[in-house]
Amino acid sequence: MGGVAAYVVADDDSDGVRIEAQRNGTIERGSGTGGGHVSAGTVRPLDLNTLVRLSRRRQRAGRSTPPPLRLDLPEGMTEPLGCDAVAVPAALGPRLMSRLPRVGCVYEDGARWWWIVPADSDVAMEWPAPVAYSAGAVVRDADCRPVLINRPADDVPYTPPIPLYLALCRVTGTTPGWSRALSA
Q: How far apart are CA 83 and CA 165, in angstroms?
A: 16
Q: Are 6 and 21 in contact (CB under 8 A)?
A: yes
Residues 1-54: tens digit of each pLDDT: 444 454 544 444 444 555 545 445 554 455 444 444 444 455 667 777 777 777
Domain that holds residue 118: 69-176
Same domain, 113 and 149: yes
User: Across all residues in the chain, what is the average pLDDT?
Assistant: 79
Query: Within the chain, how many helices (H) and strands (E) appear?
Result: 3, 11
Same domain, 28 and 90: no
Same domain, 113 and 147: yes
Same domain, 79 and 161: yes
- State if pTM tops 0.85: no
Give the pLDDT of residue 62: 62
Same domain, 106 and 127: yes
Same domain, 90 and 152: yes
Residue 84 has phi, psi (to 5 degrees) of -125, 175
Number of domains making up the chain: 2
Q: Look at residue 184 and tell me if it is in a domain.
A: no
Residues 103-132: tens digit of each pLDDT: 999 999 989 999 999 999 999 888 999 999
Q: How far apart are CA 107 and CA 92, in angstroms?
A: 13
Give the pLDDT of residue 97: 93
Of 72, 139, 70, residue with least CA distance to 110: 139
